[in-house]
Amino acid sequence: MLSTTVVRTVLEFDVGDYVTRARETGREHLDPGLRARMAELYVDLRSAPADAVTGLGSAERAMLRLAELVLQSEWRLALPAGTEHVIRWHPGQPPDVPGKRYLAYAGMRLLNTAMGTRRHASDHAIDRRCRQVLRALCDSWLGFEQRSRTGDETWCGREMPASAALDERIRRLAALRDTLTAPGQPAAPARPPREWGAYTGVDGRANILEYLINLPQTAMHEENAFLRVIHMTEATTWGMVARVMSAIEWLKTGRWSQAAGCLRRAGQLAQAQLDALLVLRRTMSVEHFLGFRAATGDASAVQTLSGQLLHIHLVGVHPRKIAAMAQVPENAYLLMHVNPAFEPLRRALEHVPESAPGGPDVLAAARHLDDVLFHWRRTHLGLAHRYLPKDMPGSGGTSGAPYLQAFYQDRLFDPTGKLMAHPIAADRPLLAADARARPAFSPLN
């Protein structure tokens, strides 16, 4: 039957050839025939009835799940954004919409697959996996820059940074790597594997990180750096989310030392995130950034689930963010946190007694985390002011720098170190009928 043929065609797809071609030209200039074929395979695979996979083993099913994410990404990038291409696979589900949005552009669903953040796991397990992925990403980026410096890299070589900037980048990445004590993933092979099976399971994580998510839209050197910072930010943010969620639960039961430990771990990840952003800030020119920015399309960090989730669990939902979040179909359900029963970290810290054993440690760890994240937001705002021409809107439908300006001082503590009062929850916003929560890990499972 046709559906069985589709499944077999997907399983026999040459992944290595796709990655090699995409890297040679940039995904935006990928052979239209190949991209159209992948988009068609995605639609056919999603439309195939359940009995199409009857008789397949668990390994083949895992390959199909992974293939669907890769094919979906090309389907979204290949077609022009527009309602004529919107697909609702099942009644009540959010629509699948094409366009260069954050998830498709940066390969976020594939990255989250490698990190395991869509599964039930403890905060310790998520923290450990995120640190492993972070180390692997840093090693990969550093190796790419070192090969580029010696002329041994074969892709993404257009518009190289100045020698001094590249040397500084290599020094900063090497210093960052030395602070990442978690072991990285096993090294990926020198060439992208051709079979889906090489990208599944524990052994396939390195190949996902090295090849499937590291596919810029252009052949410009600096877009690879831009993507790697996005990936490292995602890895550190999910680790912080897990630890902050766990710290809140420990605080509810008066376990001060456990909460302090979680917040200290979150602070370490925040520092690594800041250091990665500073690599970009100190070594990428405005001209090189603007050279590939148009190719990123409507891809905005406003659309990232992890970043919004972290900010919500730190300080709650900012009233001025409600409108922007409601416009992002992937994450609109996060507005359910506009709820009097929801307790972010800022409110949980109000109950920490400074005189109790462990209490001062909690507050010190929280202040450190707050300070580093504030520095990151301030640096991010500086990036927007530096790289975006005046009055140029940000991607994702925001106002760019003014949008970031409005929220970067939304903190746990004021400049004197005093805990800021938690505002009274606003009225709960109405959610669209197709808003749907996505599964995430359980930090105390």
- Quick check: 426 and 338 in contact, CB under 8 A? yes
The CATH number of the domain covering residues in 121-407: 1.20.58.480
Q: Is the pLDDT of residue 403 over 70?
A: no
Q: Could you say which DSSP state residue 209 is in?
A: I
> How far, CA to CA in Å, does 128 sit from each of 266, 275, 292?
12, 19, 33
Distance CA 171, CA 193 (A): 31
Q: What pLDDT does residue 399 have? A: 44
Q: Residue 76: its pLDDT value, please?
A: 86
Q: Give the least confident one: 48-52, 172-176, 392-396.
A: 392-396
pLDDT bin (cut points 50, 70, 90) of residue 347 is very high
Contact between 196 and 13 under an 8 Å Cβ cutoff? The reply is yes
pLDDT tens for each residue of 139-171: 999 999 999 999 999 999 999 999 999 999 999
Q: Is the model more confident about 153 or about 397?
A: 153
Question: Taking 90 as the threshold, does the pLDDT of residue 297 lie above it?
Answer: no
| Percent of the chain at pLDDT exceeding 90 | 52
Residue 258 and residue 359 in contact, taking contact as beta carbons nearer than 8 Å: no
Label residue 443 by pLDDT band (50, 70, 90): very low
pLDDT (0 to 100) of residue 121: 79
Please identify which residue in the block is written with the tokens 């239209």. Answer: 32
- pLDDT for the residue 439: 53
Report the mean per-residue pLDDT for the chain: 85
Specify whether the CB–CB gap between 443 and 354 falls below 8 A: no
Q: Encoding tokens for residue 241? A: 């989310």
Is the predicted pLDDT of residue 406 greater than 70, yes or no?
no
Strand partners, 419: 413
SS (H, E, C) 375-388: HHHHHHHHHHHHHC
Q: Assess whether pLDDT exceeds 60 at residue 84.
A: no
CA distances from 203 to 68, 199, 246, 261 (A): 19, 7, 29, 31
Predicted pLDDT at 45 = 87
Query: What is the rounded average pLDDT of the residues 303-325?
Result: 83
Alpha-carbon Rg for the chain in angstroms:
22
Calculated CA dihedral for residues 120, 123, 128, 133, nearest 10 degrees? 60
Tracing tokens 């395979």 back to the chain, one arrives at 41
Instruction: Reduce the DSSP state of residue 96 to 3 states and report it.
Output: strand
Rounded CA gap, 282 and 110, in Å? 29
Helices 286-293 and 221-252, interaxial angle, to 10°? 90
Residue 330: which of 299, 361, 353 has the closest Cα? 299
Structure tokens at 377: 């937001």
Residue 85's Cβ-count burial label (10 Å; 0-12, 13-18, 19+) is middle
Cα–Cα distance measured from residue 217 to residue 28, given in angstroms and rounded to the nearest whole number: 5
The rounded distance, in Å, linking the Cα atoms of 360 and 29 is: 56
Q: Is 413 helix (H, G, I), strand (E, B) or coil?
A: strand
Cα–Cα distance for residue pair 445/198, rounded to 1 Å: 30
Written as six digits, the tokens of 79 are 């077609």
User: What is the dihedral sign for C-alpha 302, 305, 307, 312?
Assistant: positive
Measure CA of the first residue to CA of the last residue in the chain; give whole Å: 42
User: Cα separation of 168 and 338, whole Å?
Assistant: 44
pLDDT digits (tens, 9 = 90+) for 248-291: 999 999 999 999 999 999 999 999 999 999 999 999 998 998 88
Report how far residue 3's alpha carbon sits from residue 52's, in angstroms, rounded to the nearest whole number.
5
CATH 1.20.58.480 residue window(s) in the chain? 121-407
Instruction: Report H helices in 153-298.
Output: 163-179, 201-207, 221-252, 256-283, 286-293
| DSSP 8-class letter at 349 | G
Structure token digits, residue 207 = 């190949």
Polymer length in residues for the chain: 445
Of the candidates 172, 215, 171, which has an alpha carbon nearest to the alpha carbon of residue 192? Answer: 215
